[in-house]
Structure 1
């Protein structure tokens, strides 16, 4: 793992790399390649923007991650779960229920974010060998962290190695490379030296893409959808999310649905931090409404609470999606390779039930075998 006593990193800001390599003789990088570089002493280096090249003298044993996207990659790679996440409540481990012999107990995980911020001390308490967190996220998401704090954690505890892949909505991410789900997954497989599992998952993913392509209805039959965050059982306001290249929208891009919000003046929540009410939603009147913030509910619980409330609401009851029974849970903000398989299959059942009737996008047992190293 990275040497916690000798590591010295200097974050250069903007789109530049986070510091020099951990060991002498390694040069910085921009994260544009996915190969692992192995040195003569069996250490190895992996590149990822914005941190550049990070060198490990042995495989990390403990780690801290930003969110469930990375945690799920760890499950797919068969490594121990991260010791901490930004918000453990947004890591929806029930997504593993369809996969035999794969589960995660997050009761011992620590939420990094608490009381409006992130304490540097929690990083010392967790003492992770590597922090799979985009340092720009810490520096830009809220006030409280400065560059010296990033450098201190990297120098005294363990390096940063992460990229905010879940959304392209942050302006500060425009200055450095963005990765697709599987590009980021390959990077992490190199960190944990589990490239064989990554390659096996790419085969499963490729087969799913082939089945999608073979069964998607014609473009004229694909609906326009609108994605919102709406908490609670009786939501009155909605945080709008425009479909972008982020991993949290992958299943909707793969299903080639239209984005009803993209045709309006409504701005993405990541950029505007704004909300809309039912009157504005009725003006948009999307064919399908997809709500985030509801993943703790089953499909039945969601229908019996949120959808039932909308059916009885003076304005919401006039929405086309409500009338036609096309209001669904949208999935979480964070997706890794396993959760993407599960959520994509759920999505086709919501959007294209007839076109995919009897079609299984993936084999749960095969996913289990790969994650458990039995392949």
Structure 2
């Protein structure tokens, strides 16, 4: 299919304003298009009024200047998309996209996301450490099982979501996807890059897997905020350089597992640490050894006996940073369990919290720092004994990135 370009089409808003017809287009473009940067052009037209029968005197010529401020951004799987201006209302489904809008200083434009109250509470555990920055996702439309009717009601300027993942819900058709794009606003997002899943068979185009920060760069172009992206990317690059320059040889690295914290004595969800995709964007660069030695795929249910057999040096508990989670209580539960108490990580006090897998750039910075300290305290400074509450205070000399600098960038002080 050919790339889809919105600029030549009338949006529903344009239809209502000018009475124009909405043209059809091929949304489901598999390729990435040819242009990622904004293009601006200026057209100058001259109009000369002509005398009417009732007007004997000639009118003076008038010159009108109209500036074309449209720009295009291209990303798989949506192809090339043209925007008239940065979006002011933004629909999202997953938190990596919502965090991108937040990082670019547009957190208040988000009108929908998956489990908004849950992620509001979780994200604010980290945002607490960004001076002067606030985030409020409470009460937004919970958009996992999104409906067309609700999208018409929200009337968003962009759907910062992956249309292929919406198609995978099973309740949507290709025609539904195109209808929303044509009548409301474009889709622009990529979710299957989370762990390089295959899109549904009904998705007709190619599918590529941009990394978390590659995707963030594209979203920054949509918001015309590449200066914020570049500043945050520089911080992340410096952090990664610090990590890479200090990592020990692989044979000297700890073994680790990442598991869910909700049922630590029952059915425990286990997750991989180094597979491709942005779900491991904070663990993969740190290179811990997989305690399961590749025998457990992400999302596998295990029990404490399986964890004891793997016997990790470090246990990372997803959900451990939630306000409702008490890490002290979880550690006590493991220590008092006849099986759990024998796991090396439990015996050595190396059971640590994690935040979220569907991380955006801001959460990624915090999670890179916290996981580096949890895995390599002798190299990057110790992770404080954490039980609950906001992301702990780290002495300034032991911080792996500058909180004030990140806050300034979000606020537009580049």
- Coarse TM-score class (shorter-chain normalised): 0.7 to 0.9
Bigger Rg over Cα: 2
Q: Are 1:35 and 2:41 an aligned pair?
A: no
Residue in structure 2 matching 1:291, options 317, 332, 344: 317
Question: TM-score scaled by structure 2?
Answer: 0.77
Partners of 2:359 and 2:335 in 1: how far apart?
30
SS at match of 1:334: coil
Q: What pairs up with 1:176-325 in 2 under 5 angstroms?
A: 176-231=207-262, 234-243=264-273, 244-264=275-295, 266-269=296-299, 274-297=300-323, 302-325=326-349
Deviation at 1:31, TM superposition (A): 5.4
Q: Are 1:101 and 2:128 an aligned pair?
A: no
Partners of 1:32 and 1:292 in 2: how far apart?
39
More deviation, 37-46/59-68: 37-46
Question: TM-score scaled by structure 1?
Answer: 0.85
CA-to-aligned-CA distance 1:316-370 (integer Å, 9 cap, x gap):
2222221122222232022222211111121122111221134321111111111
SS at match of 1:236: coil
Classify 1:250/1:135 alpha carbon distance in 2 versus 1 (closer, same or farther; 3 Å): same
Residues 69, 336 of structure 1: 8 Å contact kept: yes
More deviation, 347-356/30-39: 30-39
Partners of 2:214 and 2:283 in 1: how far apart?
19
Q: Are 1:343 and 2:387 an aligned pair?
A: no
SS at match of 2:379: coil
Deviation at 1:8, TM superposition (A): 3.9
Deviation at 1:69, TM superposition (A): 1.3
Classify 1:242/1:31 alpha carbon distance in 2 versus 1 (closer, same or farther; 3 Å): farther
Q: Are 1:368 and 2:407 an aligned pair?
A: yes
More deviation, 95-104/205-214: 205-214
Q: What pairs up with 1:135-146 in 2 under 5 angstroms?
A: 135-140=163-168, 142-146=169-173
Structure 1 regions of 5+ residues with no counterpart?
Answer: 18-28
Residue in structure 2 matching 1:127, options 133, 152, 155: 155
Classify 1:8/1:318 alpha carbon distance in 2 versus 1 (closer, same or farther; 3 Å): farther
Structure 2 match to 1:26: none
Partners of 1:126 and 1:211 in 2: how far apart?
43
Classify 1:278/1:30 alpha carbon distance in 2 versus 1 (closer, same or farther; 3 Å): same
SS at match of 2:398: coil
State the Cα RMSD in Å: 2.4
Structure 2 regions of 5+ residues with no counterpart?
Answer: 1-5, 13-21, 43-67, 382-396
Q: Are 1:148 and 2:171 an aligned pair?
A: no
Deviation at 1:72, TM superposition (A): 1.6
Deviation at 1:282, TM superposition (A): 2.2
Structure 2 match to 1:90: 119
CA-to-aligned-CA distance 1:176-218 (integer Å, 9 cap, x gap):
1111121111101110101111111122112112222233334
Report the count of equivalent residues.
349
Partners of 1:182 and 1:311 in 2: how far apart?
39
Classify 1:202/1:165 alpha carbon distance in 2 versus 1 (closer, same or farther; 3 Å): farther
Partners of 1:186 and 1:105 in 2: how far apart?
23
Partners of 2:352 and 2:11 in 1: how far apart?
46
Classify 1:205/1:31 alpha carbon distance in 2 versus 1 (closer, same or farther; 3 Å): farther
Partners of 1:30 and 1:350 in 2: how far apart?
38
SS at match of 1:226: strand
Partners of 2:36 and 2:192 in 1: how far apart?
16
Structure 2 match to 1:20: none
Deviation at 1:166, TM superposition (A): 5.8
Structure 1 match to 2:45: none
Partners of 1:175 and 1:286 in 2: how far apart?
39
Deviation at 1:228, TM superposition (A): 2.1
